[in-house]
């Protein structure tokens, strides 16, 4: 069973509110739906970053570090593009 919705009040710059309203109109939806979708995506992204960070900390605590050669190999393609 889904939890009951909760109303949040958030102050945003007038320009952002206008842009949100225009986007909602263009997509034939309402601003609340767009904000809810954006918030869900943001929360998912942050959870992914947190999990990635936790795994990095676990690896560091376990002494699982990349050696100098592995780091150099990983960055070599980037250096070639610069």
- How confident is the model over 34-55, as pLDDT tens digits? 999 999 999 999 999 999 999 9
User: For the chain, how many residues are written?
Assistant: 82
Contact 47, 32 (CB under 8 A): no
Whether the per-residue pLDDT at 82 is higher than 90: the answer is no
pTM listed for this prediction: 0.71
Q: What is the largest CA-CA distance in the chain?
A: 54
d(C-alpha 81, C-alpha 28), whole Å: 42
| Percent of the chain whose pLDDT exceeds 90 | 84
Q: pLDDT band for 33, please (50, 70, 90 cuts).
A: very high
Helix, strand, coil percentages in the chain from 3-state DSSP, rounded to 5: 70, 0, 30
CA 65 to chain centre: 26
Average model confidence (pLDDT) across the chain: 94
Q: Residues 9-29: pLDDT tens digits?
A: 999 999 999 999 999 999 999
pLDDT for position 27: 97
């Amino acid at each position: 069973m889904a939890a009951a919705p909760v109303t949040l009040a958030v102050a945003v710059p007038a320009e952002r509110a206008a842009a949100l309203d225009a986007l909602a109109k263009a997509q034939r939806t309402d601003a609340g739906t767009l904000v809810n979708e954006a918030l869900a995506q943001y929360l998912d992204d942050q959870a992914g970053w947190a999990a990635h960070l936790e795994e990095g900390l676990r690896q560091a605590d376990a002494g699982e570090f990349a050696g100098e050669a592995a780091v150099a190999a990983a960055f070599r393609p980037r250096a070639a593009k610069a």
